[in-house]
């Protein structure tokens, strides 16, 4: 006999542009929101009984309505507002989850100053959050980012690795190390100063990447995550994904030219994949 | 103190085009392979000791070398070959995982017959597999597909749902139902006739979608998954993701025109999200 | 002094799903429409005088309204309807242009027959058209397609080419030849049987690609276009873009393996680019 | 009889990462290069005679070899070097064209200063150039950018436009105006100080966009282009594409909420399309 296992439903790609109007000066927030609800929806799946199903269209309306009402200045606060709303108002829901991606905008420099109502999208880094609220428990907030494209042109090696009959890679003592990093860190409790913590964690990740004397992507990833945990006692763990976006040295010898680490071919495929979670020892 | 948690590394987007040459008739297989290895790599992360690290470049070479040697005619068999190879030859590895996406090609119809050595890519459906092999255990094979774009223009309703103060959606008794389905099903044991099973499962999913008298995406998803489990005792569970790609009826009344379900706006965002796992009751 | 040169404005990505209801059997058409208008809009650009500017929002409404009214069964007819509408109703417009991309759907095979109201998107080939109507002249219709991914595993060579000091490519007498072809052909007059002509031209392009004994992409492209012009006197010229999507033979000799044209790496970058227009000699 | 019309061939997506090593401080340039050659290649198309065809693979090699040799610090200079090389060394070529897209990297801020050998990709703006050299003439350089995502939250109106029976848009006196601008400007002669000119033109385009009191996208586009031509006598014309990426005000009245220009839905489709060329009057 067939039974229903894990399931959830929700609304994805709900886009919001919020303009805060402080007199003649504005701020803009562009958020892409996803909402998921879990609960006992067996009757819907098995019998088509929709009486416990709040439509996903209503979830979309809720995001817009809350965006108008709440004071959230960070995606962490807005995601918390969303999941709290659903847990509070929908008794048939056992767990609500909201994820938000923020596209970043900054004031345009014009005539020597930041223009108060004109903006340019900066990127490609996107800020992310996931807030999860099971019924009867406090919200769990996990912040992070995607799309941090970073590159080291010095202080990166990869040598002494295991070699087998299919290994053709040579030890490299001075290579380019490029990645497009994704990070997620979990906060120990809700209601923190998320903006300050995000800035502090992002800065330390960048600083360690820049200054690290790298023996492998793994080692650099570990030192980055370790520094984040040490700089922010408010987080319990951090997950880092750092694909190795290879820059291959071009062999110009057939043309009688040398190439002492000057000309490379950046590639997207294939790429190495390195990911790990670091946490505090209990 | 900071410790290393879950971690893995591997190679992604290793692309292979394999041409089987049966005299004057050829077959082509286009595979995009990803390999992951798990084990105790703490010394690499913490100390930069690479002596247990088989390079991801070697994993890429291994995929090409195995593609030449093995007899795999399905992605399930090739993924099994890959993980078995790594578990067998790399004692420092505790678990090997290989995922493959297959781009499908068919012979071109030319001059009234299938041309033996000319092909057209069909799509957008992509076949997928993930094979996982922990040390000391048999391989677990999970097959599926992504990108199955399907649409019902009749026999789809959504009514009787829960309404709150933010609900504006009206009951719909005759709507379009479109989705781009993703499926994954797990086999009870390795070494099965994967091609036949894949065809049988895909056919039944399509048939139930087409013939279902749908009261919700959830109900249709459930009946599809149920039919797959009933048609194939060789699978233990199936996971289906069926985002609701809304086709919104255009209101032409401002122009003095009616629109009895003829003209719609297909949209990609926002979209509903429905996903569930179905399994056999033990 | 600065003057306004060529300019145009319009609406892009207007998506339409049209369901034709023939009793219990339906047909679906998914069109992505773009409209451009040209005329003397200097006062708008230079002075912000919008009195001659029909809003792009109205163009969108027009697409929907016309979709409900007209009998067009092909994108060629619908594009013609759109440009004729704008030239007829908007005296300030000197030229109207409409481009349409059609996403293709076919009835799902279920229980041994084509299901009358369930569909699957086929692809990745997309059908295209551009209709242009200058005031006082008849419409010019250019049809075509994008995304025709095709591959030859035999009867393709590339040898005897020019070699200079930077040439490392060797003559190849048996290579894979893959492309993702784009085609556009111009009709000699409007009002033709577009569906039949499209099928005939597409078939002959595929047939020649499949059966050609290729000495270069250029030669194959030329013979394909030549055959299209010969099979369809209704077209005056055809433009073909056939990027050379290289499949590189993998060198397995370091592993003691041969590779007699069996294992290749398909690549997207870099790729060769070949494009040409063929027409009838006057 | 069928004849060959316009045709060209070349190599696309040739990616180069160039690391300039100034002692302990590095600079990185990431370029995506496309090369096109034109000439009389009829014998290749019609007869498969490749003797005048320099392989596209050689074009790729040439890009790498030149990148090692030349001193180009801008994409304008490198594109000029490429086309000059092909015109000089390939007598069978009548015209050479090179286009380059530059992905931008900046030094990472770490420990209070710019790190000399660590970089972050900034974006999404991409710098572009096309250099074209017909035999016997000097090179024509056209510079520009793609992906400049900009937004005004004040000083943007659209009113007084033409209304017909399908117009539902209301006059707007305070709307959001967002676009992802593309620009191309042609230089009057080669060998200019391209980096300084690019900075000056980009700055003035941004400044006018920010400070403009906009009555339409067209009017803002015109004033931006006019300012660019006035600030840089070295350019002869500028083409601007400014799609109108609509931010639609959300109607919250059904929920008893007002929305005085605070909450919008940003959309990608459909979008308005506005493009124009501005030049100096002769």
| The predicted structure's pLDDT at residue A100 | 98
Reduce the DSSP state of residue D139 to 3 states and report it.
Answer: coil
Compute the distance between CA of residue C131 and CA of residue C75 in angstroms, rounded to an integer.
10
Compute the distance between CA of residue B132 and CA of residue B138 in angstroms, rounded to an integer.
9
Compute the distance between CA of residue A188 and CA of residue A280 in angstroms, rounded to an integer.
11
Mutate to test the interface with A, among D206, D256, D263, D269 (most CBs of A within 10 A): D263
Q: How far apart are the first and last CA of chain D?
A: 43
Which amino acids of D are annotated catalytic?
11, 56, 246
B36, B27 contact by CB (below 8 A)? no
Distances, alpha carbon A128 to alpha carbons A120, A131, A182, D174, in Å:
19, 10, 10, 31
Q: Which of D7, D10, D274 sits opposite C276 (nearest CB)?
A: D7
Q: How does pLDDT run across A142-199, given as a tens digit for each residue?
A: 999 999 999 999 999 999 999 999 999 999 999 999 999 999 999 999 999 999 999 9
Average pLDDT on A229-238 reads 98
Q: Is D123 in CB contact (< 8 Å) with chain A?
A: yes
Q: How does pLDDT run across C8-25, given as a tens digit for each residue?
A: 999 999 999 999 999 999
8 Å CB contact of C167 and D57: yes
Residue B11 annotated to the active site: yes
Q: Which two tokens stand for residue B2?
A: 């900071």
8 Å CB contact of B9 and A275: yes
As its CATH architecture, domain A9-137 has Roll (3.10)
| The predicted structure's pLDDT at residue B124 | 84
Q: Which CATH superfamily is C148-279 part of?
A: Urate Oxidase; (3.10.270.10)
Measure CA C17 to chain center.
Answer: 19
| The predicted structure's pLDDT at residue C39 | 98
| The predicted structure's pLDDT at residue D223 | 98
D61 contacts on C by Cβ (under 8 Å): 166-168
DSSP code of residue B153 = S
Segments in chain C forming alpha helices (H): 42-47, 56-69, 75-89, 194-211, 217-231
Average pLDDT on D220-246 reads 98
D96 contacts on C by Cβ (under 8 Å): none
8 Å CB contact of C57 and D167: yes
Q: Which of D166, D168, D255 sits opposite B165 (nearest CB)?
A: D255
Q: How does pLDDT run across D100-117, given as a tens digit for each residue?
A: 999 999 999 999 999 999
Q: What is the pTM of this model?
A: 0.97
| The predicted structure's pLDDT at residue B123 | 81
Q: Does the structure show a pLDDT above 90 at D281? A: no
Q: How many CB atoms lie within 10 A of CB D265?
A: 17
Distances, alpha carbon C129 to alpha carbons C35, C99, C140, C184, in Å:
12, 5, 10, 8
Measure CA B217 to chain center.
Answer: 19
8 Å CB contact of C50 and D161: yes
Q: How many CB atoms lie within 10 A of CB D71?
A: 7
8 Å CB contact of D17 and A176: yes
The domain segmentation of chain D, as residue ranges, is 9-137, 148-279
Q: Does the structure show a pLDDT above 90 at C282? A: no
A255 contacts on C by Cβ (under 8 Å): 165-166
Q: Which two tokens stand for residue D239?
A: 């083409």
| The predicted structure's pLDDT at residue C128 | 98
ipTM (interface predicted TM): 0.96
Compute the distance between CA of residue D205 and CA of residue D185 in angstroms, rounded to an integer.
12
Confidence of residue B281 (pLDDT cuts 50, 70, 90): confident
Q: Which of D108, D121, D247 sits opposite A124 (nearest CB)?
A: D121
Q: Is A40 in CB contact (< 8 Å) with chain B?
A: no
Q: How does pLDDT run across B107-146, given as a tens digit for each residue?
A: 999 999 999 999 999 988 999 999 999 999 999 999 999 9
| The predicted structure's pLDDT at residue A281 | 86
Decide whether B9-137 matches B148-279 in CATH topology: yes
Share of chain C above pLDDT 70, in %: 100
8 Å CB contact of D44 and C216: yes
CA-based nearest residue to B125, from B99, B143, B149, B152: B149
Q: Which residue of D has its CA nearest to B267?
A: D269
């Amino acid at each position: 006999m067939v039974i229903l296992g894990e399931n959830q439903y929700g609304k994805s790609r709900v886009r919001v542009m919020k303009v805060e109007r402080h007199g003649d000066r504005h701020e803009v927030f562009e958020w892409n929101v996803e909402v998921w609800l879990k609960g006992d929806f067996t009757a819907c799946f098995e019998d088509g009984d929709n009486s416990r199903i709040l439509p996903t269209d209503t979830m979309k309306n809720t995001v817009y309505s809350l965006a108008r009402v709440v004071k959230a200045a960070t995606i962490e606060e807005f995601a918390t507002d969303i999941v709290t709303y659903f847990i509070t108002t929908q008794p048939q829901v056992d767990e609500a989850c909201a994820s938000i991606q923020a596209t970043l905008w900054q004031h345009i420099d014009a005539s020597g100053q930041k223009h108060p109502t004109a903006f340019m999208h900066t990127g490609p880094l996107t800020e992310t959050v996931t807030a999860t609220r099971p019924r009867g428990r406090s919200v769990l907030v996990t912040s992070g980012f995607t799309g941090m494209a970073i590159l080291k042109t010095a202080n990166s090696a990869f040598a002494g690795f295991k070699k087998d009959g299919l290994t053709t890679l040579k030890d490299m003592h001075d290579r380019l190390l490029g990645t497009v990093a994704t990070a997620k860190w979990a906060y120990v409790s809700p209601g923190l100063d998320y903006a300050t913590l995000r800035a502090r964690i992002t800065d330390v990740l960048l600083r360690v990447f820049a200054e690290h004397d790298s023996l492998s992507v793994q080692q650099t990833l570990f030192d980055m995550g370790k520094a984040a945990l040490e700089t922010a006692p408010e987080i319990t763990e951090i997950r880092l994904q750092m694909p190795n976006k290879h820059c291959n040295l071009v062999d110009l010898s057939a043309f009688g030219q040398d190439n002492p680490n000057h000309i490379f071919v950046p590639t997207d495929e294939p790429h190495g994949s390195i990911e790990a979670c670091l946490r505090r020892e209990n």
